[in-house]
Amino acid sequence: MNIILPILSFLCGVMLTETASGSSEEGKPSPGVVQELWFGIPGASVKDLTHRKIFETAAPDVRTISHLDVENQGDRYGARYSALLKVPASGKYRLYLSSDDSAELWLGKDATQKDMACIATVKGYSDIHNWGNQPNQASEPVQLEADRFYFLQVIHKEDGGPDHMSVAWSGPGIPAPVIIPATALFIPPGILPEEKKQSPAKAD
């Protein structure tokens, strides 16, 4: 069954390029989220990361985390978070984004990065875990199936001061937004480098 994603790409900086294969055909992926960090990059907008050569060419600092809910990672950095999303029950879901500074939330139609759409954004910043500071923090309802994986990605940019990034959902049996639980997030196969410990990438 195909899903239709409301596309908000006109709100976002650039179309994302594929980081690795998101296929889940080789078996169930491991729980977690891949966090990629690029340090030493000024600016508070997503394009301050995605429009820099470092985003495409420099090896980031790669970590694995359990949730899409982080705080105080540093200053003058950009981040990309990648995971496979698996919902507990089929139905219509909304996804919500909160961040300081700016961020974009992208969702694929399946377990690959092909045809991902930007479904929520934060411009500037929002209060932590506040899903209604800006009109585009919440996606339109999206039909998701319980027996499938969906590629989920967040691009986040922080300049200075306190920082945070969180993704929540609501849907069948979840009437109000809650942080997506770790049980629904999995590491996309092929996305982690062979050597997980790398030197932090810095802008020139």
Q: Which amino acid is at 167?
A: V
Q: How far apart are CA 180 and CA 202, in angstroms?
A: 30
Task: Give the pLDDT of residue 28.
Answer: 77
Query: Going from the N-terminus, what domains does the chain have, and what CATH number goes with each?
Result: 29-185 (2.60.120.1560)
Give yes or no for a cis peptide into 61 (omega within 30° of 0): no
Q: What is the mean pLDDT of each run of 10 residues along the chain (204 residues)?
A: 44 52 58 97 97 91 97 97 98 99 98 95 97 97 97 98 98 98 96 56 52
* Contact in structure between 105 and 139 (CB atoms under 8 Å): yes
Task: Give the pLDDT of residue 203.
Answer: 55
Task: Give the pLDDT of residue 191.
Answer: 84
Task: Give the pLDDT of residue 2.
Answer: 42
Task: Give the pLDDT of residue 13.
Answer: 54
Task: Give the pLDDT of residue 160.
Answer: 95
